[in-house]
């Protein structure tokens, strides 16, 4: 398959110039022997059949790989047609469409609503129209001077194509200006030969900077990553990027640049649009950082604790839920609760009353109750009210009990197996 592909390529490379010579000879009226015409026609048919066979085989191979029909066709063409030939063919098609757009006065290519177009064709108009005038004079002079029909026809076709090429290049530069998108992106172009798209987030700075680069050529790349796209031997805008951008050079080779310098007839609107976009992105980033700072980190909570909402005039209460074993009910006298987890303690604004299993409030924190030594005043299962002493299961409140050191803090209560406390539940000794 590779041998057939190479044969087809060389045959096409030799047949195209031969066909052009034959067309010029026929146009000039020169006689061509019939055997020569027959041999050329047979060669063209053979090469065409080989090319169709090769394209069909490549298409089936790409379709078998899972590509869509259109993608498979494009890949088959890429496999068989050299990159330079594809590039030149696409270039000629784009030149023709640009000339038609210019003659028909159609809108600029690639310029949408809110975009800023930057023309650059005026900087080279004098040079191009000078070439156009010289080419017309040359065509007329050679047509009058050359006496040989074949040479006359060849030169005439080349001169006419040269005139068309000059006009098409200038027309392409007119209808394909530089574009600053509404989103702040940049598109640096030169006719149909060069197109460098730059995303908005890669643009760091833009400034007015008139320079006259040394050397010739359409695009000059420096070792430091600077690309100069000069028109009329000068550039007027410099754009610095945060990272290199990749693009395709006029002849198909890829390159990268971190600083772009190009020419614009009126560079100020381009620089202003780029700066506004950069300022808007910076303000958006600052706003995002401020919003992130206002939210801040969430407050830390103890393991297994659930924080209730604050009420006016009182502090938040840290609630610790303790589950009792199934079927055993709430603890009675002498039985201390076993918390599943311990939450962080927060001071209460006043001594909070905790309801017992029967719902009776506790007016204050008492001494230690029960053999288990649980801290605080525990309400009994019958809902007895404690005024300040320790209460046993179903027993009356003790008026002689002295207030403990924890007086003033919210007392724990037992209700349906739930202990609510403003501090961590911990076992206490009889003397605490």
Position 259 confidence tier, pLDDT thresholds 50, 70, 90:
very high
Q: How far apart are CA 168 and CA 152, in angstroms?
A: 24
pLDDT digits over 120-136, tens only? 999 999 999 999 999 99
Residue of higher predicted confidence among 168 and 399: 168
pLDDT digits over 181-201, tens only? 999 999 999 999 999 999 999
Model pLDDT, residue 28: 65
Name which of 384, 388, 398 is nearest 356 in CA terms.
Answer: 384
Q: 2: which 2 tokens?
A: 């590779």
Does residue 78 surpass a pLDDT of 60? Answer: yes
Does residue 395 surpass a pLDDT of 60? Answer: no
Kindly report the number of other CB atoms within 10 A of residue 139's CB atom: 17
Position 350 confidence tier, pLDDT thresholds 50, 70, 90:
very low
Q: How far apart are CA 36 and CA 23, in angstroms?
A: 13
Does residue 403 surpass a pLDDT of 70? Answer: no
Sort 424 into a burial class: Cβ within 10 Å, 0-12 / 13-18 / 19+.
middle
Does residue 256 surpass a pLDDT of 60? Answer: yes
Position 149 confidence tier, pLDDT thresholds 50, 70, 90:
confident
Model pLDDT, residue 408: 43
- Judged by average pLDDT, the poorest of 4-8, 238-242, 266-270, 307-311 is 307-311
Mean pLDDT of 166-179: 94
Model pLDDT, residue 151: 83
Model pLDDT, residue 26: 72
pLDDT digits over 312-340, tens only? 444 333 343 444 444 444 444 444 444 44
Rounded alpha-carbon distances, angstroms, from residue 68 to 52, 155, 158: 19, 45, 41
Say which residue the tokens 């076993």 belong to: 338
Model pLDDT, residue 297: 52
Residue of higher predicted confidence among 332 and 234: 234
């Amino acid at each position: 398959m590779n041998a057939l592909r190479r044969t087809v390529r060389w045959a096409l490379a030799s047949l195209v110039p031969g066909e052009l010579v034959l067309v010029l000879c026929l146009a000039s009226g020169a006689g061509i022997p019939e055997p020569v015409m027959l041999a050329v026609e047979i060669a063209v048919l053979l090469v065409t059949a080989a090319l169709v066979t090769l394209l069909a085989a490549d298409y089936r191979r790409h379709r078998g790989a899972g590509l869509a029909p259109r993608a498979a066709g494009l890949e088959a063409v890429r496999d068989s047609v050299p990159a330079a030939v594809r590039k030149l063919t696409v270039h000629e098609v784009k030149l023709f469409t640009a000339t038609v757009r210019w003659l028909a006065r159609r809108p600029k290519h690639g310029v949408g609503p809110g975009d800023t177009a930057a023309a650059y064709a005026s900087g080279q108009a004098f040079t191009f129209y000078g070439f156009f005038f010289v080419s017309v004079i040359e065509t007329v002079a050679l047509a009058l001077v050359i006496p040989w029909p074949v040479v006359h026809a060849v030169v005439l076709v080349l001169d006419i194509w040269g005139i068309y090429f000059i006009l098409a290049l200038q027309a392409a530069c007119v209808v394909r200006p530089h574009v600053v998108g509404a989103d702040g992106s940049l598109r640096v172009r030169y006719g149909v030969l060069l197109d460098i798209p730059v995303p908005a987030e890669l643009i760091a700075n833009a400034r007015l900077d008139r320079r006259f680069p040394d050397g010739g050529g359409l695009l000059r790349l420096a070792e430091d990553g600077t690309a100069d796209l000069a028109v009329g031997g000068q550039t007027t805008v410099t754009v610095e990027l945060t990272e290199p951008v990749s693009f395709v050079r006029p002849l198909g080779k890829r390159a990268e640049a971190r600083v772009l310098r190009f020419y614009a007839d009126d560079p100020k609107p381009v620089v202003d649009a780029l700066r506004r976009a950069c300022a808007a992105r910076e303000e958006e980033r600052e706003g995002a950082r401020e919003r992130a700072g206002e939210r801040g980190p969430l407050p830390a909570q103890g393991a297994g604790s659930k924080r209730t909402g604050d009420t006016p005039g009182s502090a938040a209460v840290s609630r610790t839920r303790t589950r009792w074993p199934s079927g055993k009910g709430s603890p009675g006298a002498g039985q201390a609760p076993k918390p599943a987890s311990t939450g962080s303690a927060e001071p209460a604004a006043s001594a909070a009353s905790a309801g017992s299993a029967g719902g009776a409030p506790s007016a204050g924190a008492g001494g230690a109750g029960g053999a288990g030594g649980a801290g605080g005043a525990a309400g009994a299962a019958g809902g007895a009210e404690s005024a300040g002493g320790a209460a046993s299961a179903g027993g009356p409140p003790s008026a002689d009990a002295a207030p403990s050191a924890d007086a003033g803090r919210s007392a724990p209560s037992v209700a349906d197996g739930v202990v609510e406390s403003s501090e961590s539940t911990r076992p206490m000794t009889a003397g605490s």
